[in-house]
Structure 1
Amino acid sequence: MSDPNSSLPSAFHFIIKGMPGLQDYYSTLFFIFLLLFLATILGNLLIVVLVSLDPRLHTPMYFFLWNLALLDVLLTTTVIPKMLAVLLGHNRTISFAGCFLQMYLFISFGATETFLVAAMAYDRYVAVVKPLHYNSIISTKVCFTMTATVWAVGFLVPMVSVALASSVPYCTSNHVLHVVCDYTTVVSLSCTDVTAQVNFALLLAMVVVCMPFLFVLWSYCRIIISVVKMKTVESRKKAFSMCSTHVVVVVLYYVSTAMEYISLRVDSSPHDGHIFIGGLNYFITPLVNPIIYSLRNEKIKAAAQRYFCRRFCSLSSLRTSFAIPPCPCV
């Protein structure tokens, strides 16, 4: 740091500054974000456990949901613990390698989730438009292949941009004005012109977001056309109920992404506001996804009732002690 013209060594660490303008509220923000973090982890782990244990949920739709819940758990555990440590005022430093590893992981998980949402839209498209051929089109092999492809592409896409960001020299400052190792915030600390790297990363992000979005839009246009052609009201209601939960998740995902993008482009809003919205965005979809699927999906609710009923019924000694009637679980 003494020589501003020399590159920072690989062992150099960054300091996550958080939201300096909101320092007086760090304690309150810590407890709010901690509660959101615990609720997010518990909700998504519940989905993972229920889908894993209940044979009735061993279908392509719930396999995709299992992957979505797993991605939400991985995303939040990659970002939120460090954010909480920053808000608490402990261990605000992060190593050079650790910073870029965190950056790569949460970008990869976000990209994978974008592609997974598109795969789930295709699953709903086949279920509504081609119901008689659903089992042959979305077979177990196809389901696993789609999921493996989604994960592979999601982890390959950000590799080049993050590698380029980690290879440029950093010699100006080690203070990251964010709650995580955000790509643009970290790259701005470089002592060289990084316009090409930033533009490449922005173009890549637009492709990752827009291509799945267009595919989802196409899928639901075909679904709507197919539903409109159905002869009975019952058939239409059944088709819409099959897709309603996924539609809510898609809308929520893209609205939250758009809000973050717009907030970063509004120059009049304070910098701490940008950071706060960015940090809050890490909670929105991972927290709401299990709530949506729990409230709107009868099979998930039934699986949860069976699971907790069996946990309760396993306490046979307590049933005997307190004269509880025989367990009604099926």
Structure 2
Amino acid sequence: MVTETGYPNRTVVKHFLLEGLMYTGEHPSLFFLIFLLIYSITLTGNLLILLAVGSDPHLRSPMYHFLGHLSFLDACLSTVTVPKVLAGLLTQGGKVISFEGCAVQLYCFHFLASTECFLYTVMAYDRYLAICQPLRYPVAMHRRACAALAGITWATGAVHSATHTSLTFRLPYCGPRRVAYFFCDIPPVLKLACADTAVNELVMLANIGAVAAGCLTLIVTSYVFIVAAVLRMRTADGRRRAFSTCSAHLTVVLLYYLPPVCIYLQPRSRGAGAGAPAVFYTIVTPMLNPFIYTLRNREVKRALQRLLCGGCAEPPAGSPPP
């Protein structure tokens, strides 16, 4: 008998078992505390930046508008994976995830991750206009334009993720059930399909590769023009402020892009240890982003001080922006 999807009728998998990360099983309590601490710092740091951007009148420029979106994405991206990791470290039953839950987790992860990828590109474009075309910047990046660009990144991420989720879960799954990863992602889930996955792997590499390569190319191109413009600045203080702002963005871009290259260019890599690179951009990078932007941006520091102590750190009148 053949189902409507064209695949033979087989026993349907009702749940999967996430193997988790290599070596964490030896000291689960220790790793539980470590990941809980990381998750708490991630949520606190990104929530503070989100509150500062939303409430501080000094942070009304497009750069901080996009930074607010990034903080929200980082908090959500970490929430998609870390709670399930913590549950798996507590009990064996915590590693079990339903078929529908696996599909939802995969969709949410790729929705947030791809949206963040597009957002980094928009942020690079924002810095390009601000530094290379300062006279055009107020017209090109007005409030409606910023909202439209942010909306496009979210909408594109949703479509991108829906495509991969539907292609992945249209396949039949009849066993085995052990996902050699710490969350439901495309490469480890495809290995469990009871059908040929060559087309899915080709689409995954082509689609994700095209998105990542396209975004990274636009970011690098923007920063080539930015560096050239900064080097032409006459004052050392102007160059320092420009490099300080842009270096934070470049740092998080590198932390975000390098691990996925290791994962999606080798879709047949095996073992729970294959998930180690993903820890950086799903768990570590969302925690580091608030520190990177805070340490490299004087205006964000002041906004956080005003938020935490009720205006006790108001900057002197006429002080220049970072």
**Quick check: TM above 0.5?**
yes
Equivalent of residue 168 in structure 2, options 165, 170, 176: 165
Unaligned runs of 5+ in 1: 314-326
- Mark the structure with the bigger radius of gyration: 1
The answer on whether the counterparts of 1:260 and 1:281 sit within 8 Å (CA) in structure 2 is: no
Q: CA RMSD in A?
A: 2.2
CA distance 1:217–1:328, shift in 2 (3 Å): closer
CA distance 1:51–1:194, shift in 2 (3 Å): same
CA distance 1:9–1:34, shift in 2 (3 Å): same
Partner residue, 1:148: 151
Partner residue, 1:182: 185
Equivalent of residue 88 in structure 2, options 86, 89, 104: 86
CA distance 1:124–1:167, shift in 2 (3 Å): same
Equivalent of residue 131 in structure 1, options 131, 134, 141: 134
Residue correspondence of structure 1 range 168-317 to structure 2 within 5 A? 168-260=171-263, 264=266, 271-310=271-310
CA distance 1:112–1:126, shift in 2 (3 Å): same
Q: How far apart in 2 are the matches of 1:295 and 1:236?
A: 17
Q: How far apart in 2 are the matches of 1:22 and 1:236?
A: 45
Q: How far apart in 1 are the matches of 2:152 and 2:84?
A: 30
Residue correspondence of structure 1 range 32-47 to structure 2 within 5 A? 32-47=34-49
The answer on whether the counterparts of 1:79 and 1:180 sit within 8 Å (CA) in structure 2 is: yes
The answer on whether the counterparts of 1:21 and 1:272 sit within 8 Å (CA) in structure 2 is: no
The answer on whether the counterparts of 1:6 and 1:171 sit within 8 Å (CA) in structure 2 is: no
Q: How far apart in 2 are the matches of 1:240 and 1:217?
A: 15
CA-CA distance at 1:19 after TM superposition: 3.8
| Residues 1:110 and 2:110 are matched in the alignment | no
The answer on whether the counterparts of 2:181 and 2:271 sit within 8 Å (CA) in structure 1 is: no
Q: How far apart in 1 are the matches of 2:171 and 2:313?
A: 64
CA distance 1:186–1:51, shift in 2 (3 Å): same
Letter matched to residue 30 of structure 1:
F
CA distance 1:161–1:140, shift in 2 (3 Å): same
Q: How far apart in 2 are the matches of 1:21 and 1:237?
A: 43
Taking every aligned residue pair, what percent have the same amino acid on both sides?
36
Q: How far apart in 2 are the matches of 1:21 and 1:235?
A: 48
CA-CA distance at 1:212 after TM superposition: 0.6
The answer on whether the counterparts of 2:24 and 2:31 sit within 8 Å (CA) in structure 1 is: no
Q: How far apart in 1 are the matches of 2:47 and 2:223?
A: 29
CA-CA distance at 1:178 after TM superposition: 1.4
Partner residue, 1:58: 60
**Which one has the bigger helix percentage?**
1
Greater CA drift, 146-155 or 156-165: 156-165
CA-CA distance at 1:124 after TM superposition: 0.3
Q: How far apart in 2 are the matches of 1:182 and 1:81?
A: 16
CA-CA distance at 1:194 after TM superposition: 1.1
Q: How far apart in 1 are the matches of 2:74 and 2:95?
A: 24
Unaligned runs of 5+ in 2: 1-7, 316-322
CA-CA distance at 1:6 after TM superposition: 4.7
Equivalent of residue 27 in structure 1, options 7, 29, 37: 29
The answer on whether the counterparts of 1:309 and 1:329 sit within 8 Å (CA) in structure 2 is: no
What are the Cα deviations for residues 108-141 of structure 1, in whole angstroms up to 9, with x where unaligned? Answer: 1110001100000000000001112211111111
Letter matched to residue 194 of structure 1:
T
What are the Cα deviations for residues 268-327 of structure 1, in whole angstroms up to 9, with x where unaligned? Answer: xx83322233234311220110011111111111011111111xx9xxxxxxxxxxxxx6
Residue 26 of structure 2 aligns to a residue in which SS?
helix
Q: How far apart in 1 are the matches of 2:41 and 2:231?
A: 39
Q: How far apart in 1 are the matches of 2:124 and 2:156?
A: 17
CA distance 1:128–1:20, shift in 2 (3 Å): closer
CA-CA distance at 1:209 after TM superposition: 0.7
The answer on whether the counterparts of 2:19 and 2:272 sit within 8 Å (CA) in structure 1 is: no
CA-CA distance at 1:208 after TM superposition: 1.5
The answer on whether the counterparts of 2:103 and 2:169 sit within 8 Å (CA) in structure 1 is: yes
Q: How far apart in 1 are the matches of 2:205 and 2:127?
A: 30
How many residue pairs get aligned? The number is 307
Q: How far apart in 2 are the matches of 1:261 and 1:191?
A: 21
Residue 192 of structure 1 aligns to a residue in which SS?
coil
Letter matched to residue 161 of structure 1:
H
Greater CA drift, 240-249 or 135-144: 240-249
Partner residue, 2:4: none
